[in-house]
Amino acid sequence: MRILGLFMFLIVSQTVLSLTLSESQNLLFQQNKDIAVIEAQISQDKAAVSEAWSAFQPTVALRGQYGYQSEVQTLELPTPIPSITTRRDMGDHDKTEWGADIQIPLFTGLGRYYNVKSRDAFLQSEQMNLEAIKNSLSFRLGQLFFALELATQRTQTQEALIRQFVQYRDQTVEQHNAGVVAATRVSEAEARLATAKAERVAMADQIDSLRLEIGQLIGRPDTVMVFDFANAAPDSAESARLMNSRGARDRPEMAAYDCSSRLLEYRKKGLTSQLLPTLSASAGLRYGNPGLSLSSDEFMSWQVAGLSLNWTVYDGMKTLYQKRQVEQSLVVTRLRKEKESEQWTKALSQARLKWIQANDQLKAARLAESASEEYASDLKNGLDAGTVTSLEYLNALSGLAQARWMVHQARFQVNSAALAIRYASGTPLRF
């Protein structure tokens, strides 16, 4: 019993998180793993851009060297006496040297510049991809949120119908006990009530499934959440304004393609720069025992300086074929952009059409709801007066519930279409 009591206490004391659509989106941006991966990639790309800029800086290196040889170098000098030579040692057994060098690239054929520009273009492409994935996940979140709102409204409508069925069942039982109606009327009321309750259970399962999916999307799968649907619907005025949007040209995916094209152009120019000569200057300070003086083992200091020129005049057509590969990549990127642009333009047209149809459907559903309410009220009066059968009244209640459900469903279609218009037009989705 103590274990059971502790378990129940943990369930009751579990924190319940109340979220609006805007708050859910904030959690999505903070907790979603797909977004976190791209943000980490962007940080890496920023470091790559800084690395490319470092190629413009000189490099400074410290160096040291020590060597020992068992025999020293010697020099034999002839003397005036034939067959007799003088032998002199050159240097010492030890050679020690240390110092510092600085190397400055003077000209690299603009390769460093195009390397920086290409990495910067790749960084911008990743930033556009981040915006695209945020929009995609926000669109999915909005769809789930509106679907959950619809499922909740359907459950509320069903609960209202159940309350009416309970009221009718209780009234029928009283009439049966008074001998006014037959037992079949009671059985009929009980059957309708049981069916409505069974349907409510299925609706509750759907709500739980949608809540779990939202929790997984925003990185809170184990948190008990309730959602506030107030002010979640998209602005109808903005949806009407976006009816004339330019569409796919404003999307971050299209901007990412443009960045990819610029990256390839810079790579192409960078390959061309490899055919140009490179020139670098170097200078250094030395101190040590280099063994430069005959029979000398003294330490000394000296300086070195120089220029280095490198020019590849023939590379077996390697650079040419690399440029051709880049050119074909540019063609592929352009074709992919055109294809995706056509798809988004089509999606925007479909979303606009659905939004118009959904608004017409909502108007018709509201008229049907009003008529069903009036009809159910008339039958209730007729039932009390004995001029209407219970079956007719129950059918009217079911029809009213269906009419209300159609209103909620039409409103869901309007919200979904408005969200689709914003998404397809490339408008940043911020709730």
Tell me the residue type at 48: A
pTM (predicted TM-score): 0.78
Residues 6+ apart with CB under 8 A from 309: 277, 278, 279
Those residues with Cβ within 8 angstroms of residue 362's Cβ, 6 or more apart along the chain or in another chain: 407, 410, 411, 413, 414
CA 37 to CA 24: how far, in whole Å? 19
For residue range 188-236, list pLDDT tens digits in order: 889 989 998 999 999 999 999 999 999 999 988 888 888 888 877 777 6
pLDDT tens, 136-195?
Answer: 999 999 999 999 999 998 898 889 889 888 988 888 888 888 887 788 888 888 998 999
For residue 94, pLDDT over 80 is answered with no
* DSSP type of residue 248: G
pLDDT value for 90: 63
Q: Return d(Cα 419, Cα 232) in angstroms, integer.
A: 11
Structural domains for the chain: 21-57+110-275+315-424 (1.20.1600.10), 58-107+277-310 (2.20.200)
Element (H, E) at 402: helix 390-424
DSSP assignment string, 263-322: HHHHHHHHHHHTTS-EEEEEEEEEEEE---SBT----EEEEEEEEEEE-----TTHHHHH
The number of beta carbons lying within 10 Å of the beta carbon of residue 385 is: 8
E-assigned strands of 35-181? 59-68, 73-78, 85-90, 94-107
The single residue listed with the structure tokens 């998209």 is 234
Q: Which residues pair with 100 in a beta bridge?
A: 62, 285
pLDDT per position as a tens digit, 277-332? 999 999 999 888 766 555 556 778 889 999 999 998 888 899 999 999 999 999 99
